[in-house]
Amino acid sequence: MGVKNRLVLKMSGEALASTASDQTIDAATVDRLCREIAETREELDLELAIVVGGGNIWRGATGEMAGMDRSTSDAMGMLGTVINALALQDALESHNQPTRVLSAIRMTEVAEPYIRRRAMRHLEKKRVVIFAAGMGNPYFTTDTAAALRAAEIEASMLLKGTHGGVDGIYSADPKVDPWAERYDHVTFRDVVTKDLRAMDLTAITFCSDNELPIRVFDLMAPNNLRTALSGGSVGTLVS
Ligand code: UDP
């Protein structure tokens, strides 16, 4: 269900970092990803929203382990996602995509506040919407923020782009178990009962409750992004 051609793409923060250099945000990597997004969005006339993570900059759990207050540490993580969102905006605009960053934490000098109806209007006008600062609440991840925003804006699918070379959902951790099999399709129930590591469990149960299909795929392999945005079969479909 949802509006046809309206998609939410979740990009992990680490996808913007470089494996070759130690850049927190690698301009060449961001440019490549944004070029693929821009070309595909135009070709298919997509209404596209992006939720970007912040793991390349800070994760709330990291600070908590070092003894920080969890909510403060999560606020730092959310601010990290805003930095990434601005980098994506810059790169998308260099590929001629009108783009708006909507932040769940108010900072009106750099981004619009998140207002659902405004987000929908931007999408109708074919502006790429980047949702920043997750949901604005601590104790959540940007996976869950992506699921929530996708439901709110009536997207037809959530595309979860991974970066660690794991190109979908496997029967076991493929980095540990050489016999691990990649699934083309799994149900929400499979993910929960078999404890398949794909996405934050809160996000999975939310998508299940709201009948929002998810495609998990490797963001970094050339052309994968295009295939996923085009509705092609890549990685694993959860429905
Ligand atoms: N975060 C949060 N609430 C949200 C979304 C994110 O508190 O709604 C914080 C949390 O600390 C998280 C960090 O922001 O660790 C970065 O997000 P995430 O770990 O999801 O980024 P990714 O792994 O996708 O790069």
Q: Is the CB of 63 under 6 A from ligand 1?
A: no
Of 63-72, 109-118, 192-201, the poorest mean pLDDT is in: 192-201
Q: At what angle do helices 70-94 and 27-44 cross, to 10 degrees?
A: 60
Contact between 174 and 182 under an 8 Å Cβ cutoff? The reply is yes
Q: Is the CB of 132 under 6 A from ligand 1?
A: no
Q: Classify domain 3-238 by CATH number.
A: 3.40.1160.10
| CA-to-CA dists, residue 85 to 13, 129, 148, angstroms | 9, 10, 18
The pair of structure tokens assigned to 10 is 């979740």
Contact between 97 and 38 under an 8 Å Cβ cutoff? The reply is yes
Distance (Å, whole) CA 80 – CA 172: 31
60 CA from centroid of ligand 1 (Å): 7
Helical H segments across 137-223, by residue range: 142-152, 188-193, 201-209
Is 182 a residue whose pLDDT tops 90? Answer: yes
Give the pLDDT score at 175: 87
Is 135 a residue whose pLDDT tops 90? Answer: yes
Q: Is the CB of 140 under 6 A from ligand 1?
A: yes
User: Can you tell me which atom of ligand 1 is nearest the CA of 139?
Assistant: 7
Q: Coil, strand or helix: which one is 234?
A: coil
pLDDT over 90, % of the chain? 88
Q: What is the pTM of this model?
A: 0.97
